[in-house]
């Protein structure tokens, strides 16, 4: 029940490729590449995607219920990645709301969810995952933030890349079907157990202004809950803000 799994040597972006071919693709079609010439992060940022030893993967998943049924999807995908990592023996990664997988305070993987179709009818999500297995040294300076890879987490002996890829594909295929049926509720407990922002002092960077608050988990839709200095509980949506640990 997987649509297709296609592997390219180099492509602009595995997510862009699925978007171009969306109309003719079966549900749960996967696209992977050895390298990307225009890897994308959130809000037009670049995902560094050199050839070699990383994973650049996207999957197309169709949904009937419209965008509202997809709240919490990027958090659920984070849980799916942690399950795949667990499968290959990596248990030291955690989740930074809304779309990062971190280990030892550095970014190990990123998740990009892009929606298309009807707001309250049939729609599709293209979910892109970049997971670092062995980064060239030069990338650390270019990233603009602390980044890490599975090699660093395993003392130089990362799990076999094909095994990691297979574990991620299987976990996404199974997890996305479960998300389709039960939504974020099926992932909430595991998300909370791996929530790196819980109880942390955070800097919330909102276009309307910046403030400091404490992480208080996420709500049933996957929105971040924080407590401000004056004691009020605020719900933060992922679209417009960035969160930093302060």
User: Catalytic site residues?
Assistant: 42, 107, 244
- Within 173-232, the residues that bind ligand BTN by CB under 6 A are none
What own/partner pairs with CB < 8 Å and gap ≥ 24 does 110-117 have? 110/41, 110/47, 111/74, 111/77, 111/78, 111/81, 112/15, 112/40, 112/41, 112/42, 112/47, 113/70, 113/73, 113/74, 113/77, 114/15, 114/19, 115/67, 115/70, 116/19, 116/22
Q: Which is nearer to ligand BTN, 39 or 215 (CB)?
A: 39
The answer to the question of residue 148 lying near ligand BTN (CB under 6 A) is no
Judged by CB under 6 A, the residue of 5, 34, 41, 180 near ligand BTN is 41
Position among 10, 26, 45, 120 found at the interface with ligand ATP (CB under 6 A): 45
For residue 58, the partner it binds in ligand BTN, ligand ATP, none, with Cβ less than 5 to 8 A by kind, is ligand BTN
Q: Is 96 in the site for ligand BTN (CB under 6 A)?
A: no
Q: Does 145 bind ligand ATP (CB under 6 A)?
A: yes
* Positions that interact with ligand ATP (CB under 6 A): 41-43, 45, 47-48, 99-100, 107, 110, 130, 132, 143-145, 147, 242-243
């Amino acid at each position: 029940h997987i649509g297709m799994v296609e592997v390219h040597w180099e492509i602009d972006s595995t997510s862009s490729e699925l978007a171009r071919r969306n109309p003719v693709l079966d549900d749960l079609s996967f696209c992977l590449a050895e390298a990307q010439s225009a890897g994308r992060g959130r809000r037009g940022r670049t995902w560094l995607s050199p050839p070699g030893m990383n994973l650049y993967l996207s999957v197309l998943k169709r949904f009937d219920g419209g965008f509202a049924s997809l709240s919490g999807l990027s958090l659920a995908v984070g849980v799916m990645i942690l399950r795949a990592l667990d499968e290959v023996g990596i248990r030291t990664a955690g989740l930074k709301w809304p779309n990062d997988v971190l280990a030892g305070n550095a970014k190990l993987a990123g998740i990009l969810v892009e929606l298309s179709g009807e707001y309250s009818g049939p729609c599709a999500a293209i979910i892109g995952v970049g997971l670092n297995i062995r980064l060239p040294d030069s990338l650390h300076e270019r990233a603009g933030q602390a980044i890490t890879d599975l090699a660093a987490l395993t003392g130089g002996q990362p799990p076999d890349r094909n095994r990691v890829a297979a574990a991620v594909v299987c976990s996404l295929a199974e997890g996305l079907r479960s998300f389709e049926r039960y939504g974020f509720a099926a992932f909430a407990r595991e998300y909370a157990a791996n929530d790196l922002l819980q109880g942390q002092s955070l800097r919330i960077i909102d276009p309307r202004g910046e403030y400091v608050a404490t992480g208080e988990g996420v709500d049933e839709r996957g929105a971040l809950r924080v407590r401000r200095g004056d004691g009020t509980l605020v719900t933060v949506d992922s679209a417009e803000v960035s969160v930093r640990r302060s």
